[in-house]
Amino acid sequence: MRKISATEASRGFSDLLDSIEAGDTVVVTRGNRPIAEIRPVRRRTGRDLARALADTTPPDDSFTADISAAVDLLVADQTDPWADE
């Protein structure tokens, strides 16, 4: 893991992003204190979602009815909230 000062990060931001895009993790410091850690974004896929939901209990039969009942409670506001202004 590479460390750079905030000043270096600011002056060479484009190069910093290139390095991160290439897979590097960089710690940015100010006054020798770490203030940020910048790393590449992990790309998420449908497979990641499937793994996350694998141990989740599927909704029961009343789920659709519960959602439908909740939606029925919603009232569309047809008035202009600014009309009295």
Could you give the angle at the alpha carbon of 16 between the alpha carbons of 11 and 17, nearest 5°?
Answer: 125
Dig out the tokens for 39 from the structure: 């790393």
Residue with tokens 């499937």: 50
Q: Classify residue 26: in a domain, yes or no.
A: yes
What's the pLDDT score for residue 76?
67
Domain coverage including residue 30: 2-38
Q: Classify residue 57: in a domain, yes or no.
A: no
What's the pLDDT score for residue 73?
86
- State how many domains the chain has: 1
Q: pLDDT in tens for each of the 85 residues of the chain?
A: 899 999 999 999 999 999 999 999 999 999 999 999 999 998 889 999 999 899 898 888 899 889 988 988 887 666 776 777 6
What's the pLDDT score for residue 77?
66
- Quote the pTM value: 0.53
Q: Classify residue 20: in a domain, yes or no.
A: yes
Q: What CATH number does residue 30 fall under?
A: 3.40.1620.10
Residue with tokens 């209990």: 57
* CA–CA distance, 56 with 50 (Å, rounded to integer): 10
